[in-house]
A and B are shown apart, each in its own frame.
Chain A
Amino acid sequence: QQQVKQSPQSLIVQKGGIPIINCAYENTAFDYFPWYQQFPGKGPALLIAIRPDVSEKKEGRFTISFNKSAKQFSLHIMDSQPGDSATYFCAASVSYKYIFGTGTRLKVLA
Chain B
Amino acid sequence: KAGVTQTPRYLIKTRGQQVTLSCSPISGHRSVSWYQQTPGQGLQFLFEYFSETQRNKGNFPGRFSGRQFSNSRSEMNVSTLELGDSALYLCASSNLGNTEAFFGQGTRLTVV
Contacts and interface: CB of A to CB of B under 8 A. Distances in A.
Interface string A45-70: 11001000000000000000000000
B100 to A, nearest CB: 6
B105 A43 contact: yes
B90 A102 contact: no
Interface of A: 31-32, 34, 36, 41-46, 49, 89, 91, 93, 95-103
8 contacts: A41-B105, A43-B104, A96-B48, A96-B55, A97-B45, A97-B56, A98-B33, A98-B45
Q: Is the interface of A mostly helix, strand, loop or mixed?
A: strand
B31 to A, nearest CB: 7
A64 to B, nearest CB: 14
Contacts of B102: 46
